[in-house]
Structure 1
């Protein structure tokens, strides 16, 4: 129970921090997110819509809803990267290489953090997704602020 409370407090803190800073300009629509989620998960879009309709129904629903949010944040990041590559064509290869390395570090860090907090429990996938979502949101903001290849 303490872990659930800590997770919820952490989620509220992340949400509050995100609300206090300006959000990325691009936001994917719900259908775009469901299509990307279906592609990544291998689940049919209709089945996903059913699971996503009540995120509090079960731990599985909570996990898939958290994964949806991580996928949405990744779509925002991909859009930011594409825009920046268009704005700074000379930076495209360096930016993509940097993001690729960063994503590997993000995934390892989020996996380690979720495993440490929930050690194989049913909340671990949700914690992993929440971490990935947060990291993607932060990186999208960094990419959007970039004005040269120096970073």
Structure 2
């Protein structure tokens, strides 16, 4: 039986490209990436922006309802972590944050082919799965 785990892809890009992608997540500024995104009905979300959105929502609705609030807030306030997460982007496919292997694998292959192509582009591609055994656990408080 095939496992039921789903997957998520994240890319790390150069600082220059990250700045552009945050303003243009469709990636018109970097055509090779834009072509891959369009082909796979994918879009990007900057990890820093996702974390900041989580913190803002928690502060608006009550941090007691958001178990990762303190960890996330501390993370985005640390300059070295902020710099790291500003360059990291999650790929959504048809609006979904996680997707089946048959979607993730070809997308990963095409993104990986962009690593190191040209100056200031995609630097790394990572695939995560939804298996809880492979997921980092929230820090104890």
Structure 1 length as normaliser, TM-score?
Answer: 0.27
Larger RCO (alpha carbons 8 Å, 6+ apart):
2
Determine which structure has the larger strand proportion and give its number.
2
Decide which structure has greater helix share: 1
Normalised by the size of structure 2, how large is the TM-score?
0.29
